A and B are shown apart, each in its own frame.
Chain A
Amino acid sequence: MKKSIKNLIRFISFILVICILTTAASFCLKVADRKDIMHIGGFFLEPEDSLDVALIGASELYTGFCSPLAWNHSGFTSYSLCYAGMLATHYKPAVQEVMAHQNPKLYVIEINGFTCDDEYQNDLTKAHTFLDSVPNDKLRKQLIKDTVPQESQAEFHFPIIKYHENWKYIRSFLVCLRNRIYMALFGQTMTKAYANKKNVLKSDKLKKYTPKPGKIADDSLTDLLEFFKDNNVENVLFVRFPHCVDNKNPEVYENIKNKVLSYGYDYKDFESERQNLNLIPTKDFYHYGHLNVFGQEKFTPVFADYIVSNYDVKSEHSEEITESWNKSWEVTQKVLKATETEEPVEKDINFYYEINGYLLNK
């Protein structure tokens, strides 16, 4: 072989090895909220077209709604594609991801992201949490193009640019790596986007809350509604999950509601119905915005009933899927029980979440 050809082959092989190692390093060093990695990643492990209901929103979902419990109570499959503090700009991309993998009969949109100001919406860390946990396909590339400022797009296409610094935080990246490996090895999550704890609020006093959505939130909501309309999606329920707050700016919800209704979709505010639902701050909430495990177990059947009575979401699933959901409920019961009674194993985040489902399923 000519020396120059040999050198070229060597050089290309060397570059390939570097690319592989960089990709591996990028995967290993990727650190995000360890719960969110699993909530988002778990969605893509669900069999195609197996979900009856898709829920999209922020942390209210994984603390307020328990999909396996709803399955056991009402018989529909569901999954919350959510992460802590979901940005308004990510609702539509999340719906796009759902559409690419599932064909749900109902979309549930928790409106938290649309109540936040513009400064909040520009948080690139949250953008990483979401976009770095979805499959790296054509759609992801499009979502990056659509939602990330151009000057920051490189760090999404080549995550090592952002994550390389994590070599300093060995424990963090090892925990995230372990969670990813568990998902890769054991497949579907058992608890379907679940994270909660048993802590309670110390007082019944409601927290003063003044939502101040900005232009980004408003535009994103319009964009989402237009998207649903353009794609002929019929069943969309916009919902506000229970919070223990004294809302000083109720017009915000009113505006959202009016906009949603103007597009012909539904709106339901459970925040104002907290007392009717018998959700007590010192028993059912660990934070003014989040139900604890007891509140979640109270609220999930109520919300599941609401869904079933208003939408025809139930469908016949294959034996395999039914079996997997039954198994999921079985494991989730153990996780719920552990959440209610024991201290979390991972003291630094103080939550029970997907990883406990995997561990208890061993």
Chain B
Amino acid sequence: MTLISFGFLLLVTITGLIYFLLPEKLKQYQWVVLLVSSLFFYIYTCNKYSFYIFLTIISTYLCGLKLQKLNDQTSLRIKEQKGIWSAEEKKKFKASMQNKKKLVTALALVFNFGILALLKYLGFIFAQADRVLSSIGLDPNLPALKLVLPLGISFYTFQAMGYIIDIYRKKVTAERNIAKLSLFLSFFPQIIQGPIAIYSDLAHQLFETHKFSYDRFKRGGILILWGMFKKLVIADRAVSIVTYIPEHFGKYQGSVFIFAGIVYAIQLYADFSGGVDMCRGVAEIYGITMAENFRRPYFSKTLTEYWHRWHITLGDWLRNYLFYPISLSKPFLKMGKNLKKVNKNFGKVLPTSIASLITFVVIGIWHGSELRYVAFGLWNGLVIMLSSFMQPVDKKIIEKLKINVNKLPYKIFAMARTFIFVLVGYFFDISKSVKSAVYMMYKGVTDFHLADLKPFFKISKESLIPDHSLDLQDILMIFFGAFIIFIISVIQEKKQEPVRDILARKKLPVQWIVYIMLIMGIIICGTYGPGVSPADFVYMQF
């Protein structure tokens, strides 16, 4: 069952009807309705691979309880021994309990990230081992493993481990009801591709009672439609460009690669944010507000800002559970302290830059086991590292040239510069290897002729993307769709509130015209129907 399917629509509708029509006495069990639907969706979609999510649920539940027990024991014992224990004894006890907690947390992390790593990278490790052993004359004959990645494994694993770390940090108390924890980890609108929720943000909303609200239904509905517009009208239409061109890069000239890169930037954003909007819209109808995952990322003026606006929940997760633990760890603090003696800026920037680099390499590896993903992470990490070091120089140049950074021309320059950095990273994403990514970028710069793009903008039966019925109208529609996203984004950026809220204050006929245009736009210009296989959401594969 995919997000854009009649089955999913039916599931959302039936769940909604039961959820809101429960008698007042049973309203406290609304969450059970969500749980049943979530488990049904997951088991129906993943069949035997559902086994993995249950492993994560059980291990997370048990480790969570154990951690909670250790937390409680620590507090209780310290309370009991107040005035009896010396500071030394208290410290010793705390340290021993902390070690036990670390062990349980490590166990949970290793087990769950182990499953994720095993499924994601074992095939790659086998293939590389086979290659290396073969190159030294051995015949290992290792099997070519193609392990199936269960739906949403990254997202629920991240969520589960965030929950465990939060218990470890005493930010939340462990959930004693395994069914409730199951719902938190499997909530069906978000399981496909996030957003990755923090337990303290989401759990209470899932378990609270909710009354039907027409306004919320309307808000959620518009978000779903907007997501569908981005997915069906823009993203799915662009799939053939971003898959075919990099796969057959030998056939094309430099400017075509730049074109493909730009189309990929549009496609990826439309696909990912579209999917997340749909998930958030469904949740909103049920009265659950999910975290925002995108905040106009292409308006970012630095790459760091981009990563604060793109896939926000993953960024937050990595910041809270990876970046800060590294950068605030004893060795890193010590390193900073020592370096500050040599150079103040260096000492301040280097430890955080290394932590940031590690975080980006992890992001890269999370995307996939291939080298190009590592390159993607390294590129982002290194650019951010370098820009951190260059910040004082940058400041000086701006001062010297008397540039007003708050004026539009500079903002546009900064956005364009960031977009180019982002685009470079995208080439590693769409290409099949680091080599081809570098080749495409090199040719894109050294062999750029606008004339090479002419065939894309010609009404011709001989498509530049063979076997795909991609017409000039399709290409124009991709850019027109992107233009609409741009306009909406500008409004949101200026007003700093969702366009649907702005629209809700307008007169009914105005609202209707916009909604009708949106719906008819999807119905008429959407990529669906006979002969069209719906494209999976890009982030489903992760």
Q: Which chain A residues have a beta carbon within 8 Å of chain B's beta carbons?
A: 3-4, 7, 10-11, 14, 17-18, 21-22, 25, 29, 124, 152, 155, 160-162, 164-165, 167-168
Interface residues of B in 125-148 (CB under 8 A from A): none
Looking at the assembled complex, report how far the CB atom of A12 sits from the nearest CB atom of chain B, in whole angstroms. Answer: 13
Contact between B520 and A162 (Cβ–Cβ < 8 Å)?
no
Given contacts A17-B516, A21-B516, contact A164 B530 (CB under 8 A): no
Looking at the assembled complex, report how far the CB atom of A264 sits from the nearest CB atom of chain B, in whole angstroms. Answer: 41
Contact between A167 and B530 (Cβ–Cβ < 8 Å)?
no
| Complex contacts, B519 vs chain A, CB 8 Å | 18
Contact between A22 and B523 (Cβ–Cβ < 8 Å)?
yes
Interface residues of B in 496-542 (CB under 8 A from A): 508, 512, 515-516, 519-520, 523-526, 528-530
Contact among B508, B512, B515, B523 with A164 in the assembled complex (CB-CB below 8 Å): B523
Pairs of residues from A and B, 8 with the lowest C-beta to C-beta distance, nearest first: A168-B473, A7-B214, A161-B529, A164-B524, A167-B524, A155-B530, A168-B471, A162-B530
Contact between B520 and A21 (Cβ–Cβ < 8 Å)?
yes
Looking at the assembled complex, report how far the CB atom of A173 sits from the nearest CB atom of chain B, in whole angstroms. Answer: 11
From B214, B474, B508, B515, name the one whose CB has the most chain A CB atoms within 10 angstroms.
Answer: B214
| Identity of the chain A residue whose Cβ is nearest the Cβ of B526 in the assembled complex | A164
24 A–B contacts from the bound complex (CB under 8 Å) = A3-B214, A10-B508, A14-B512, A14-B515, A18-B516, A18-B520, A22-B520, A22-B523, A25-B524, A124-B530, A155-B529, A155-B530, A160-B523, A161-B528, A162-B529, A162-B530, A164-B524, A164-B526, A164-B528, A164-B529, A167-B473, A167-B524, A167-B525, A168-B474
| Complex contacts, A161 vs chain B, CB 8 Å | 528-530
Q: In the assembly, what is the distance between CA of A17 and CA of B513, in Å?
A: 11
| Identity of the chain B residue whose Cβ is nearest the Cβ of A152 in the assembled complex | B530
From A10, A18, A22, A168, name the one whose CB has the most chain B CB atoms within 10 angstroms.
Answer: A168
Interface residues of B in 188-220 (CB under 8 A from A): 214
Looking at the assembled complex, report how far the CB atom of B217 sits from the nearest CB atom of chain A, in whole angstroms. Answer: 8
| Identity of the chain A residue whose Cβ is nearest the Cβ of B6 in the assembled complex | A154
Contact between B525 and A164 (Cβ–Cβ < 8 Å)?
yes
| Complex contacts, B508 vs chain A, CB 8 Å | 10
| Identity of the chain B residue whose Cβ is nearest the Cβ of A17 in the assembled complex | B516
| Complex contacts, B529 vs chain A, CB 8 Å | 155, 161-162, 164-165
| Complex contacts, A22 vs chain B, CB 8 Å | 520, 523
| Complex contacts, A18 vs chain B, CB 8 Å | 516, 519-520
| Identity of the chain A residue whose Cβ is nearest the Cβ of B532 in the assembled complex | A165
Contact between A29 and B524 (Cβ–Cβ < 8 Å)?
yes
Q: In the assembly, what is the distance between CA of A296 and CA of B83, in Å?
A: 115
| Complex contacts, A155 vs chain B, CB 8 Å | 529-530
| Complex contacts, B523 vs chain A, CB 8 Å | 22, 25, 160, 164
Contact between A4 and B214 (Cβ–Cβ < 8 Å)?
yes
Contact between A25 and B520 (Cβ–Cβ < 8 Å)?
yes
From B515, B516, B524, name the one whose CB has the most chain A CB atoms within 10 angstroms.
Answer: B524
Looking at the assembled complex, report how far the CB atom of A305 sits from the nearest CB atom of chain B, in whole angstroms. Answer: 45
Looking at the assembled complex, report how far the CB atom of B221 sits from the nearest CB atom of chain A, in whole angstroms. Answer: 10
Q: Mark B225-238, 1 if CB is under 8 A from A, else 0.
A: 00000000000000
Other than A7-B214, A14-B512, A164-B529, give 12 A-B pairs with Cβ distance below 8 A: A10-B508, A17-B512, A17-B516, A18-B519, A21-B520, A155-B529, A160-B523, A161-B529, A164-B523, A164-B525, A164-B526, A164-B528
Looking at the assembled complex, report how far the CB atom of B140 sits from the nearest CB atom of chain A, in whole angstroms. Answer: 45
Looking at the assembled complex, report how far the CB atom of A9 sits from the nearest CB atom of chain B, in whole angstroms. Answer: 11
| Identity of the chain B residue whose Cβ is nearest the Cβ of A164 in the assembled complex | B524
Q: In the assembly, what is the distance between CA of A278 and CA of B363, in Å?
A: 80
| Complex contacts, B528 vs chain A, CB 8 Å | 161, 164
Interface residues of B in 283-324 (CB under 8 A from A): none
Looking at the assembled complex, report how far the CB atom of A189 sits from the nearest CB atom of chain B, in whole angstroms. Answer: 30
Q: In the assembly, what is the distance between CA of A356 and CA of B449, in Å?
A: 49
Q: In the assembly, what is the distance between CA of A124 and CA of B530, in Å?
A: 10
Q: In the assembly, what is the distance between CA of A96 and CA of B523, in Å?
A: 33
From B508, B515, B528, B529, name the one whose CB has the most chain A CB atoms within 10 angstroms.
Answer: B529
| Identity of the chain B residue whose Cβ is nearest the Cβ of A13 in the assembled complex | B512
Q: In the assembly, what is the distance between CA of A164 and CA of B528, in Å?
A: 9
| Complex contacts, A17 vs chain B, CB 8 Å | 512, 516
| Identity of the chain B residue whose Cβ is nearest the Cβ of A25 in the assembled complex | B524
| Complex contacts, B520 vs chain A, CB 8 Å | 18, 21-22, 25
Interface residues of B in 467-496 (CB under 8 A from A): 471, 473-474
| Identity of the chain B residue whose Cβ is nearest the Cβ of A155 in the assembled complex | B530
Looking at the assembled complex, report how far the CB atom of A241 sits from the nearest CB atom of chain B, in whole angstroms. Answer: 32
| Complex contacts, A7 vs chain B, CB 8 Å | 214
| Complex contacts, B530 vs chain A, CB 8 Å | 124, 152, 155, 161-162
| Identity of the chain A residue whose Cβ is nearest the Cβ of B515 in the assembled complex | A14
